[in-house]
Chain A
């Protein structure tokens, strides 16, 4: 294999991976006696949804969606092509669907990581001067009261925050922890969604074709 063909192959693999992020492809074997027209007619009701337009041409159905309702079973997809192909083993439904929601979820961790960076940067620029902090501490150094009802009912007496804790508190603005947590959450949700939605749409097509 030459260097240029290796490079070409590497580019193809990258392109295929990038496409896999938000493109869902699959196939489903039809029963031998099912014609393309019959199969597409059975799948038709899936596209009779608000915000969905579709067109049938021969053995191919092309659809696109805009502002699809949450109740639409294919709401995650924005467009796609379904094609019935004749193969030696029998007719097969091949589909190629695109989903901006999957792409969005894939990119969301990056957005939240940038929020984390922004939070850290904002914290560095806005540290209060040491004098002001000391003044505040003096002012608040009073005992906290407890109402006699709370005392009688046995609630723990309020505790003055310890000086060390106070110092810690004064120095901190918003922390980047939440942003990291959400970045991780969206990464996990992406993996779940990419697998789950691929399976759900396949089972949806199967059920429609069997109905």
Chain B
């Protein structure tokens, strides 16, 4: 495999990838299907922005957001069923159960841990001990600016955390587990070692005071943009969208079996952050995973960072076995 030169790097020398938007397949079918799969993403984004912007205060609350989030995910699962991007990524019962197990961890035990020792708790402690008030001026900004800043600050932090995970071994250990997935589906973003899921959820957004409606709008950006990272649906994504936002194409390349390809497209929502820092590669891949696509069991996903870390420590610092000379 020769690979393709992208800047100073050669991508696709170890596993097949497609580089360049012009080489990516398009939705096949009649004009109605083409229309739906071209305009679905922008329509959902703008419709939900308008909804949250104008919804009366009695409706604009977290419980409504949770309901919309679940309904939207069910709709996307249906889209995956009707029009999968790759047959090899088709969701099976076992994959659905595995994915939902991790989603469940996020909503329960990880949420509990995050509540007591996560960034929210730490920020509250800092503010309390220094008697800071939050950055109150933030609430005076226009709603959409507040919403964008909330999601951008979080994504910017996540970009560097994610890039750090791919460049520093102690952070790579917990993150590597997520790279053993061999297909992309709506809930695959939740799959990973709990330590990584905790780390990736850290943010400094808690320092800012913002209007509740702005937080709901920021959540909508995540729901209607970031969610497509792990979707098994082919869209004719508009050019402006894929220039600004992360897509399943970008993220499939990040999960490719090709090492160089995985060192790209780190952001969660805004791919322009990758463009700014020179880590964006436009393209896609079907063959995903590590070790030639070995699927990790849940048990191994839970223990791998520790067992692998221990192995490495032993190799590096362990007493070398002294050879006994033959008599």
Contacts and interface: CB of A to CB of B under 8 A. Distances in A.
Contacts of A115: 108-109, 112
Contacts of A173: 112, 115
A186 B97 contact: yes
Given A70-B92, A193-B93, 6 more contacts: A70-B94, A70-B183, A144-B139, A158-B212, A179-B108, A197-B93
A65 to B, nearest CB: 10
Contact of B95 (A50, A70, A179): A70
Interface of A: 50-51, 67-71, 75-76, 101, 104-105, 108, 112, 115-116, 118-119, 122, 126, 139, 144-145, 147, 149-150, 153-156, 158-159, 173-174, 178-179, 182, 185-186, 189, 192-193, 196-197
Nearest to B103: A182
Contacts of A189: 93, 96-97, 100
Contacts of B109: 115, 118
A155 B100 contact: no
B100 A156 contact: no
B33 interface: no
B205 interface: no
B213 interface: yes
A173 B163 CA distance: 32
B88 interface: yes
Interface string B93-122: 111111011001001110110011000000
B182 interface: yes
Interface in B287-327: 292-298
Interface string B39-62: 000000000000001111100100
A173 B292 CA distance: 43
Given A70-B295, A186-B97, A149 B183 contact: no
A156 B56 contact: yes
Contacts of A116: 108
Contact of A174 (B92, B111, B295): B111
B295 A68 contact: yes
Given A145-B140, A159-B57, A182 B108 contact: yes
Interface hub of B55, B94, B96, B141 (most chain A Cβ within 10 A): B94
Contact of B298 (A104, A156, A182): A104
12 contacts: A50-B294, A70-B95, A76-B92, A105-B97, A115-B108, A119-B108, A147-B141, A150-B142, A153-B53, A155-B143, A155-B213, A182-B100
Nearest to B100: A185
A74 to B, nearest CB: 10
Q: Tell me the interface secondary structure of chain B in the complex.
A: helix
Interface hub of A67, A75, A192 (most chain B Cβ within 10 A): A67
A72 B107 CA distance: 30
Interface residues of B, number: 42
A19 B320 CA distance: 48
Interface hub of B60, B93, B109, B213 (most chain A Cβ within 10 A): B93
B112 A158 contact: no
B295 A155 contact: no
B202 interface: no
A84 B105 CA distance: 43
Nearest to B292: A50
A147 B143 contact: yes
A179 B103 CA distance: 11
Contacts of A185: 100, 104
Contacts of B211: 144, 158
A178 B111 contact: yes
Given A51-B294, A179-B108, A186 B54 contact: no
A188 B207 CA distance: 41
A69 B295 contact: yes
A106 B115 CA distance: 29
Contacts of A76: 92-94
A112 B108 contact: yes
Interface string B1-16: 0000000000000000
A100 to B, nearest CB: 8
A69 B111 CA distance: 30
B112 A122 contact: yes
Sort A-B residue pairs by CB-CB distance and give the 5 closest, nearest first: A182-B104, A178-B107, A115-B108, A147-B142, A179-B108
B54 A145 contact: no
A6 B119 CA distance: 60
A81 to B, nearest CB: 21
B47 to A, nearest CB: 16
A192 B100 CA distance: 15
A122 B29 CA distance: 54
A104 B93 CA distance: 13
A118 B115 CA distance: 13
A154 B53 CA distance: 9
A156 B57 contact: yes
